[in-house]
């Protein structure tokens, strides 16, 4: 459990919603939300944020110096990101797509560092070229 909590401290991605709140989604194997909530309460003490555990339908919400945890009855299917967040998400996907060196692409090594089960949570993996083992920049392999 501690190892998984540590992994999520590193890979959890917060996105800014249209109301200014930071929001992150995760789907861990273990119940690590309480450990992460305490960590981010200290780290982001001046911000409003929420972490949603998709597998357990549980959320931690931090607002006005108070941490609340509870079950989520119905998941909001329509996430509304702020305008600047949409721009950053687009830039990050584009950067990730173009920063690699095609000759050094190693999908097996990438999966060793971050298993595929976590890819659905990452902004850069929303781009089909980043998710698959296709060549970078959309080029065909020779």
**CA dist., res. 94 & res. 130, Å (int):** 10
The β-bridge partners of 60 are 51, 69
Mean pLDDT score, 45-71:
95
Least confident of 8-17, 44-53, 109-118: 109-118
Looking at the predicted structure, is the pLDDT value of residue 9 above 90? yes
Give tens-digit pLDDT for 63-119.
999 999 999 988 777 889 999 999 999 999 888 888 877 788 777 887 888 888 888
Residue 132 vs residue 83, higher pLDDT: 83
Report yes or no: 73 and 59 within 8 Å, Cβ to Cβ: no
Cβ neighbour number for residue 33 with a 10 Å cutoff: 21
pTM: predicted TM-score of the whole model, two decimal places: 0.82
**Which of 80, 31, 75 has the alpha carbon at shortest distance from 56?**
31
């Amino acid at each position: 459990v501690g190892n998984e909590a540590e992994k999520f401290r590193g890979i959890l991605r917060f996105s800014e919603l249209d109301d200014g709140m930071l929001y992150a989604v995760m789907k861990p194997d273990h119940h690590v939300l309480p450990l992460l909530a305490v960590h981010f309460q200290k780290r982001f003490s001046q911000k409003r944020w929420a972490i949603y555990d998709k597998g357990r339908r549980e959320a931690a919400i931090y607002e006005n110096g108070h941490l609340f945890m509870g079950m989520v009855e119905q998941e909001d299917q329509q996430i509304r990101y702020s305008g600047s967040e949409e721009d950053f998400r687009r830039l990050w996907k584009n950067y990730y797509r173009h920063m690699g060196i095609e000759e050094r692409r190693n999908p097996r090594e990438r999966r060793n560092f971050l298993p595929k089960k976590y890819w659905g949570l990452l902004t850069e993996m929303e781009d089909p070229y980043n998710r698959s083992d296709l060549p970078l920049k959309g080029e065909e392999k020779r």
